[in-house]
Amino acid sequence: MHAQNDLKFLVDRTAGKLARWLRVLGFDVEYTATGALSEIAKLARQSGRKVITRNGSLAHRLGTDSILLRSEHLKNQIKQVVNLVGVEKCEPFSRCNVCNARLAGVERRLVEGRVPEYVYLKHDRFSVCPVCGRYYWQGTHWHKMIGEIEKTLGGKWHGDRSGRD
């Protein structure tokens, strides 16, 4: 069920927090800190990304190559984007939320000494970001984020959709 989706986004600084959460949901999201509209438009064109912004003039300029966020609240923003693209496109925890790379599964024995010992002992499934080298596992933080996603988008996100548990 985890068909890799081909949606690519560019989030500008009017919606910075959203970038990380869309990555948590598995979307390919780049972030740009520039406020120069022509530069954002150029970046989007070059990378084939849809721009997500709170900036009306930018959205107007880009037309269908953009998503204009209606709310300033993060949860509503997440809902708007997910409803627009379809909840079935979400692939939670498949991507590094820091650098946007797709995570790769890693054998448990290779993780020993690289994550805290209690984590190593308690978990048997790990993945790693091939770019920044961060390790990911389904610990307390993961469960908290799943809880946030369930509160925001409704439905059940534990279980099959997220791999295990």
d(CA 11, CA 3): 23
Cα–Cα distances (Å) from 87 to 98, 101, 117, 151, in that order, read 22, 21, 36, 14
Residue closer to Zn ion (CB basis): 36 or 131? 131
Q: How far is the CB of 145 from Zn ion (least distance, A)?
A: 16
| Chain residues that interact with Zn ion, rule: CB under 5 A | 96, 98-99, 129, 131-132
Question: Measured from the CB of residue 137, what is the shortest distance to Zn ion in angstroms?
Answer: 14
Closest distance to Zn ion from the beta carbon of 83 (Å): 28
**Amino acid type, 91:** E
User: Closest CB to Zn ion among 67 and 96?
Assistant: 96
Half-sphere exposure for 43 (CA within 13 Å, toward CB): 22
C-alpha closest to that of 55 among 16, 27, 14, 97: 14
Residue 62 or 126: which CB sits closer to Zn ion?
A: 126
d(CA 106, CA 135): 9
Contact 70, 80 (CB under 8 A): yes
Give min distance, CB of 29 to Zn ion, in A.
13
Residue 84 or residue 98: which is nearer to Zn ion going by CB?
98
